Structure 1
Amino acid sequence: MFKGDRVLGGMPGQNKAARTQQDPEVIVVGGGGSGLFAAIEAAEMGRRVLVLEKNPVPGGTTNWAIGSLSSSMSPMQVAIGVHDTPEAHYEDMAKFHGNLLARDNPDLRKVFVENVPATLKKLLDMGVVFFGPMPEPPHRVPRMHNILPNSRAYAHALYRRARQLGVDVRFSHRACRLIRERERVVGVEVEADGSQKRFFALRGVVLAGGDFSANREMKREYAGDVIAQADALVKTSTGDAIQLGLDVGGEIVNGDLMSGPQLRFVPPRTNLMTMLPPSRFLALTMRWAMATLPQPVIRPFIMMFLTTVLEPQRKLYESGAILINRDGARFTDECDKPQLAVPQQKGKEAYIILDDRLAKAFSAWPNYISTAPGVAYAYLPDYRRNRKDIYHSARSLSGLASKIGVSPPTLEVTIADYNRNPRPGCAGLLEPPFIALGPVRSWLLTEGGLRISASMEVLSKSGQVIPGLYAAGATGQGGIILEGHGHHLGWAFTSGRLAGRAAALQEKS
């Protein structure tokens, strides 16, 4: 136990006297991917490191990611003869941004692409296994590396490495205030075990507590009432670390930008993807199978993963499928941001309705239900086989309504009304059996984070460095745009690594 583990007490002016040379040198708020990487980097430089995580387990949002990481100059690229550079990656990232390019921070993008190759190498050194690299236009070369067996392997490897280095990780410790002396951040107050405690950092504090997607008030303030109704992918992403930065003079950049909302199927109660142990042996076996075995052999196994996390594609609605609510009524134009309308419905849920004609069309290429870029496509039979909990079929509309718990007369009227005026180019929903997929819910991640420098220092509204304070991951996403697969995780890990190093190099206070 660090001597900094003391029950809160005393006057603010006594903070300095209460500190000792046995306090941690670096404190990291957040035990997700970015926080653990920050802790590892500082510990590898010989610093005493304390991680404060409000959840009972490590990983945070990283545990729920699809798991891809995009990087240039990887050993896997070299192995297949791909020549790639950070400069090319920098240029290609901008191609994803569209009209958001003007809101990107080119300095942070440059720092990211120059340092993510070293991040990927460190993950490989920790035993993380990737499949790929896979192509994703407009990347000019394959850069997307997909983790195996699932995204929990990141936290497993990072937490193990942190513990090997002697990092003190405290779970169920919620940071509630930063401690300052003469404008410099020197520590953190936390709530734990029903009491308040103070921890002091001799060098610096890194904020890496994730985004604010589960904080309805912050979403409403920065993005409006409609966005505020959408659910968070991770319910504990309440923006605590971001609020700590705001309380000492920081500001949020791009607070109105969201990743999503996305309509996704509700997760299964028993999720094989998260049940599999994140072992290296299993990951290597999966990589060998994906590279070696015929698709008909390996495909059913891959589908058990893909159908747990992916979203239905827009083409399904363009081809004539419709959304209904818990009452059995159609409530929106499915091709005009339905993800914003679903949270307004009863239970914040909806069902996708198809007929047999659409079912046959979406059973083979090119009409897939969902995709994980570079890995595989999921068709309707894949959902019928692997997601029986969200696949419902009946010969009649009344029978289908009974299976999903909506009003049979209402559903029959809804379909009749739609068939009289179907989507242009579509035949309507006419041919039994009828199918309902769902429920689907609207999920989002927020893209706004604290304004930071290229050295991961938190900046004030006037652009001045807040001494002793650093930010990483979604908490420190202050201006960088991360469109395209593999950039969010890449930024989380890379910014965490850089923030941990910067804090470790800070002079002792």
Structure 2
Amino acid sequence: MLTRDRSHHSYSRADETVDVLVVGGGGAGLAAAIEAAESGARVVLLEKNDAPGGSTSWSIGSVSASQTPHQRAQGIADTPEAHWEDMPGFAGELAPRDNDALRRVLCDAMPDTFQWLLDSGIRFMGPMPEPPHRVPRMHNVLPNSRSFIYHLTRRAQRADVAIRVRARVVELVFENGDVKGVLYEADGATKRIDARGGVILAAGDFTNSPELKARFMGAQEAKVAAVNPTATGDGQRMAERCGARIVNGDLALGPEIRFIAPAKENFVRRLPPWRSLAAVMQWSMKHLPDAILRPFLMKFLTTALAPALALFEDGALLVNARGERFGDETDKPAYRLPDQPDGVGYIIIDGRIAERYSAWPHFISTAPGVAYAYLADYRRNRPDVYREADSIEGLAAATGMNAAALAESVKSASGPRTLSRAPYIALGPVRAVFVHAEGGLMVDESHRVLDAGGAPIGGLRAAGSTGQGGLLLKGHGHHLAWAFASGRRAGRFAAQAARSAPAGVTPEKAATV
């Protein structure tokens, strides 16, 4: 752990003092800001990017919860206790590393938090089954994940949250053992803003921080990019300088292979997140025949998801942009992709595999419980990642690969990897990415950031991925659930601290909440 005593650092006087300061404008940060403002606090939210969004806007958009109106409508009886009991089934052998207390916080908070999302104007389809959940709990947002940011930003504005974009927080103001505020850069100047109720770090994970990935995961992982390019671990790094510690830094979803994003977003991702449109979609999911609904879903599935690793088990080859194989396709191929030219590869299959992946149960990609995408769906919806030819030479020409190198790759493959039946198909480019990292700051059940000795750092809370606290969030819908639930709670506690803090006294010294 990297620590540094900043208690005697000399800072300029604050340019501004507010009740609660939130760092990060993703789902967790917006939830924190809204809850604090609706509790009566004066709130400023600082976002380094051009607009709120964070990793929430990059997500598929699933939220897992119990006791939801959607469950009741389907006659599903469920409880937070059952949800708490089922979650370790996703963690498997990692379950002993989970934070049971924070898992309880999450599951207990989700029924009310899900209703809060509905009250904010967000609409869902579902719930969908996902074992080992004993009952369906996964709810998928409509029409896409931008709906969260659209509606929560508007709710924050109605609550008079001051959202400041292109405002990069560079340092926590740490004096006499407490966090007083932050230094941030905006409009070419560095400013200081203090917060009576404390600072809430909601700045995401470190999937795009080579430094933190190298430290916690390894040198090869440090080469792998992130789905969200601005998830650079800012909150974790700043908090460490105040004595905080990162837990479960070695755990992440990835590296995994994903198709490159289309140059132009399809119409599903461009759909406006209007409540009326979401309501129409919600009705359609229940009543429209599959023949009408499925083409719409395929526009989403062929854009957002990863190719199934079963392709490689069934004989597909993975080659680089020159047409060369670069290792065993079933032995962590995503780890080797960053070392290839331009960091990309292509999945090569023949007619035998193509036929197999044209119908259930062999799919190219899936969103669990929603739908499955087969080869024909990619041919129709992603012509930019689909190339087909009657010969290996023709496929090399279609993809720009070296014909001799690709021919040698196919020829040298043996056994189940023998590709000999036309047509020959290349799916790609594909690249290696991290989807999210589990390494968050250790926090208590009030989301206060803890130091190495387990004591709260005065004036500092963390939510979402930044404040994951060792909680394991495998399974669809748990990361977003934690973002919203922890953000709301951190905002509420910070607002309480602001009310209880006498002038000039750090709120954490004045009252424990």
Among 233, 240, 246, which residue is 2:234 paired with?
Answer: 240
SS of residue matched to 1:175: strand
Offset, 1:316: 1.0
Deviation of 1:378 after TM superposition, in Å, equals 0.3
- In 1, Cα distance between the equivalents of 2:253 and 2:112? 26
Distance 1:34 1:262 in 2: 25
| Aligned-residue offset at 1:180 | 2.7
Aligned: 1:352 with 2:347: yes
Alignment of 1:143-154 (within 5 A): 143-154=137-148
Structure 1 residue aligned with 2:477, among 483, 486, 489?
486
The answer to whether structure 1 residue 103 and structure 2 residue 97 are counterparts is: yes
Q: How far does residue 464 in structure 1 lie from its aligned partner after superposition? A: 0.7
Gaps of 5+ in 1: 1-10
What SS does structure 1 have at the residue aligned with 2:388? strand
Q: Which moved more, 1:265-274 or 1:23-32?
A: 265-274
1:422 aligns with 2:420: no
1:435 alignment partner in structure 2: 425
Q: How far apart, CA to CA, are the structure 1 residues paired with 2:64 and 2:244?
A: 29
The question of 1:328 aligning with 2:326 is answered no
Q: Find the aligned partners of 2:130 and 2:55 in 1 and give their Cα distance.
A: 23
Tell whether the 8 Å contact from 2:216 to 2:249 is kept in structure 1 after alignment.
Answer: yes
Matched, 1:474 2:469: no
DSSP 3-state at the match of 2:431 = strand
Give the aligned partner of residue 78 of structure 2.
Answer: 84
Q: In structure 2, what is the equivalent of residue 310 of structure 1? A: 305
Alpha-carbon offset, residue 258 of structure 1: 1.0
SS at the partner of 1:277? coil
| Local SS of the residue matching 1:343 | helix
**Residue 467 of structure 2 aligns to a residue in which SS?**
coil
Partner of residue 413 from structure 1, selected from 408, 424, 440: 408
Corresponding letter in the other structure for 1:12: S
**How far apart, CA to CA, are the structure 1 residues paired with 2:297 and 2:11?**
59
Deviations for 1:338-387, whole angstroms, at most 9, x for unmatched residues? 11111121111110001111111111111111000111000000000000
2:384 aligned to which of 382, 389, 392:
389
- CA gap of 1:358–1:193, structure 2 versus 1, over 3 A, is same
Q: Is the 8 A contact 2:25 2:52 kept in 1?
A: yes
Deviation at 1:182, TM superposition (A): 2.2
Counterpart-to-counterpart distance in 2, 1:256 and 1:238:
15
Residues 1:40 and 2:34 are matched in the alignment: yes
CA displacement at 1:488 relative to structure 2: 0.6
TM-score by length of 1: 0.94
In 2, the alpha carbon distance for the partners of 1:180 and 1:238 equals: 21
Pick one of 474, 477, 502 that aligns with 2:493: 502
- CA distance in 2 between counterparts of 1:191 and 1:436 reads 46
| Deviation of 1:12 (Å) | 3.0
- For residues 206 and 254 of structure 1, what CA distance do their matches in structure 2 show? 20
Give the percent of matched residue pairs that are identical in Structure 1 and Structure 2: 51
Deviation at 1:171, TM superposition (A): 0.2
Question: What is the aligned counterpart of 2:107 among 88, 104, 113?
Answer: 113
Counterpart of 1:288 in structure 2 is 283
SS in 1 for 2:190: strand
Amino acid at match of 2:335: L
Deviations 1:422-471 (A, max 9, x none): 33xx6x21111100001111110221010100110000011110011000
Kindly provide the amino acid, as one letter, of the partner of residue 286 in structure 2.
Answer: A
Equivalent residue pairs, number: 490
Give the secondary-structure state (helix, strand or coil) at the position aligned to 1:186.
strand
Question: Quick check: 1:135 aligned with 2:133?
Answer: no
Distance (Å, rounded) in 1 between the aligned partners of 2:277 and 2:301 = 17
1:51 maps to what in 2? 45
Partner of 2:200: 206
Which runs of at least 4 in structure 1 moved beyond 4 Å after TM superposition? none
Are residues 168 and 396 of structure 1, via their aligned partners in 2, closer, same or farther at CA, if it must alter by over 3 Å?
same
SS of the equivalent of 2:398 reads helix
Residues 492 and 417 of structure 1, relative CA distance in 2, 3 Å threshold? same
1:186–1:203 contact (8 Å) kept in structure 2? no
Residue 498 of structure 1: how far off its partner (Å): 0.9
| Cα deviation 1:139-160 (Å, max 9, x = unaligned) | 0000000001000000111100
Amino acid at match of 1:179: V
Please identify, of 282-291 and 152-161, the stretch whose mean Cα deviation from structure 2 is larger. 282-291
Tell me the distance in 1 between the aligned counterparts of 2:54 and 2:44.
17
**Aligned match of 1:269 in 263, 274, 280?**
263
CA deviation digits over 1:115-155, x for unaligned, max 9? 01111110000110100001000100000000010000001
C-alpha contact 2:12 2:192 (8 A) present in aligned 1: no
Deviation (angstroms), 1:13: 6.7
Q: Which residue of 1 aligns with 2:452?
A: 461
CA distance in 2, matches of 1:422, 1:244: 52
C-alpha contact 2:129 2:369 (8 A) present in aligned 1: yes
SS in 1 for 2:464: coil
Q: For 1:96, what is the secondary structure of its paired residue?
A: helix
What's the secondary structure of 1:474's corresponding residue? helix
- Kept in 1: contact 2:55–2:228 (CA 8 A): yes
How far off is 1:19 after superposition?
Answer: 7.2
For residues 412 and 384 of structure 2, what CA distance do their matches in structure 1 show? Answer: 28
> Does structure 1 conserve the Cα–Cα contact (< 8 Å) formed by 2:11 and 2:173?
no
Structure 1 residue 362 corresponds to structure 2 residue 357: yes
Q: Distance in 1 between matches of 2:11 and 2:165?
A: 29
1:211-241 CA deviation, whole Å, 9 max, x = no partner? 1111101110111111111111111111111
Q: Is the 8 A contact 1:210 1:475 kept in 2?
A: yes
Amino acid paired to 2:456: V
Cα distance in 2 for residues equivalent to 1:310 and 1:403 = 24
- Is 1:279 aligned with 2:274? yes
Q: Secondary structure at the match of 2:347?
A: strand
Pick from 243, 249, 253: which aligns with 1:255?
249
Matched residue SS, 2:327: coil
Which letter does structure 2 place at the counterpart of 1:437? L
Determine the structure 2 residue equivalent to 1:297. Answer: 292
Contact 2:15–2:192 (CA<8 Å) still a contact in 1? no
Match status 1:12 vs 2:3? no
Q: Take 1:383 and 1:13, find their aligned partners in 2: how far apart are those partners?
A: 56
Superposed CA deviations along residues 81-109 of structure 1, whole A, max 9, x for unmatched, are 11100110001001111111111010110
Q: CA deviation at 1:282?
A: 1.6
What amino acid maps onto 2:312 in structure 1?
Y
